[in-house]
Structure 1
Amino acid sequence: MNGPRVLITNDDGIDSPGIQLLASELAKHFPVVVAAPARDMSGSGTGIGRFDPVAGVDLHEVELDSGVEAYSIDGPPGLAVMSASLGAFGDPPDLVVSGVNAGINTGHSIIHSGTVGAALTARTFKGRGLAVSLAQSDPWHWDTAVTVAVDAASWLLADRPEPRVLNVNVPALPLDQVKGIHWADLDEFGYFRVANAQIESRKLQLEVGSSNDRADPASDTALCHGGYVTLTPLSTVEPAPFPPIEASEIWAH
């Protein structure tokens, strides 16, 4: 198949149903390669892990039901994206699609998400990135998220200048019950609310808390929980404007 090349990755691991279903559907539209962590690497952000250039990293070819070319990597999704962008699996991808993540990635805490981190890593290599996450439910509505992902991927590959990275969150609903799609701001609050250092037991515990009750109505968290697909354009590491002072003022020597 000719056309833009797509790399599919995630942070839940290559055995996750989200990536398996996503690969099967995207392969109907684009040439795809799957390269994903061998195990759950949630919370890895844009990290590539500890890498020994001599020993390398374990890599295994994996058979997917869809027959898509696929590899498991003993490392986080950022490493998979960096490797693919440097030519490890053929020509660099035009688009990295990361997901479908089991659980939403909203608010400023997305900086810690391996799902979002993979999409941002694509941008650092001059590519495009799409992170897709699905709100939790029983049963999971994977089909809804996969349909949204294919549409968003097609849109990003339509040779438009911006955005280069898109964070998408999908509500826990059948496709015909989704209320619509919205551009959304990042929720002010993150995933964790309280940190507790228990010195005697030598444990650091982080308390997870819902921000639904405090979320701005225009935020990704509120809109997604309200039944909407949310779209949030993201940028990667870029220098901020220089302050209007001489750099020598900062150096005391």
Structure 2
Amino acid sequence: MNKPKILVTNDDGIESPGLHALAAGLAAEGLDVTIAAPASEASGSSASITAVENDGRIQVEEREIEGLDGITAYAVYGAPAFIAMISTHGAFGDPADVIFSGINRGANVGRAILHSGTVGAALTAGVNGGRGIAVSLDTGLKPPELHWERGARLAAGLLPFLMDQAPGTVLNLNVPNLAGAELPQYRAATLAEFGIVQTTLAERGHQHVRLSVEDTTGEAHEDSDFKLLAAGFAPVTAIQAVTEAQIPGLQDSLPQLPRS
């Protein structure tokens, strides 16, 4: 049986050590790994499919990444969700069985994942008939050191489960940034009502605004990704892209417009 074909992308850009660690960890498992990541930082891009065009063409550069010999890597002048979308149409060879997005510098928990480019790429994989997993390391705002390899090992450990799921399945994995040989345990999680950090308006001046980013201090449910991550677990949440909401009586409540 052929090993699954993997595409690795992110929103921190092609030079990110988290991306390199994830690709290296997956390749060490003997998987068929290709990298296609934004040429520059694309954090907060959600599921945007924007790209820089020149005469209708989007630039795609093949790159060599130190320490990743044998892995083909592309720097794409587009958002991570754009990369995920075009990959499902054969932009980087045969479509991947799974798109791994990460490892993001900073946790992606709660309903704030709506804005994450890391999560947006994984969701776009699912919308286009693939499987996706977003992987994030809980670095905090000022981490003393970063343990990317732990995130890579935990991400790779979910591949057998993900391959057993139907196409369209998307997971969101968060990993505590802790040292030590023992890996944290996975825990199925719900989405918290808020994210790991909160952005507030710090200043509104003449023709400008200034934002402030701070750690979130609110309380969350015991089974939420926020709470489980804080307790040292690796929360895993099954997520899906935007879908319709059920509002009873919507059709009957819509105003009737006069006919001409």
**Aligned-partner SS, 2:119:** helix
Answering whether residue 89 of structure 2 is matched by residue 86 of structure 1, we say yes
Answering whether residue 119 of structure 2 is matched by residue 116 of structure 1, we say yes
**Aligned-partner SS, 1:133:** strand
TM-score by length of 1: 0.90
Any stretches of 5+ residues in structure 1 without a counterpart? none
Take 2:53 and 2:246, find their aligned partners in 1: how far apart are those partners? 36
Answering whether residue 177 of structure 2 is matched by residue 172 of structure 1, we say yes
Map 1:54-93 onto structure 2 (within 5 A).
Answer: 54-64=55-65, 65-67=67-69, 68-93=71-96
Instruction: Tell me how far 1:199 sits from its aligned partner.
Output: 3.6
Take 2:130 and 2:53, find their aligned partners in 1: how far apart are those partners? 25
Map 1:146-161 onto structure 2 (within 5 A).
Answer: 146-157=152-163, 159-161=164-166
CA pair 178-3 structure 1, distance change in 2 beyond 3 A:
closer
Any stretches of 5+ residues in structure 2 without a counterpart? none
Take 2:230 and 2:167, find their aligned partners in 1: how far apart are those partners? 27
State the match for 2:193 in structure 1: 188
Answering whether residue 19 of structure 2 is matched by residue 19 of structure 1, we say yes
Amino acid at match of 1:85: T
Q: Percent identity?
A: 37
Instruction: Tell me how far 1:54 sits from its aligned partner.
Output: 3.9
Take 1:87 and 1:210, find their aligned partners in 2: how far apart are those partners? 40
Map 1:231-242 onto structure 2 (within 5 A).
Answer: 231-241=236-246
Give the aligned CA root-mean-square deviation in angstroms. 2.3
Instruction: Tell me how far 1:215 sits from its aligned partner.
Output: 2.8
Residues 2-58 of structure 1, C-alpha deviation per residue, up to 9 Å, x if partnerless? 322111000000111111111112123321211000111100000011564843111
How many pairs align?
251
Answering whether residue 245 of structure 2 is matched by residue 244 of structure 1, we say no
Amino acid at match of 2:42: M
Map 1:26-45 onto structure 2 (within 5 A).
Answer: 26-28=26-28, 29-45=30-46
CA pair 193-69 structure 1, distance change in 2 beyond 3 A:
closer
Take 1:48 and 1:247, find their aligned partners in 2: how far apart are those partners? 36
Instruction: Tell me how far 1:92 sits from its aligned partner.
Output: 1.2
Take 1:241 and 1:106, find their aligned partners in 2: how far apart are those partners? 25
Asked whether the equivalents of residues 25 and 149 of structure 2 are also in contact (C-alpha less than 8 Å), the reply is no
TM-score by length of 2: 0.88
Answering whether residue 219 of structure 2 is matched by residue 214 of structure 1, we say yes
CA pair 55-249 structure 1, distance change in 2 beyond 3 A:
closer
Take 2:211 and 2:189, find their aligned partners in 1: how far apart are those partners? 27
**Aligned-partner SS, 2:58:** coil
**Aligned-partner SS, 1:21:** helix
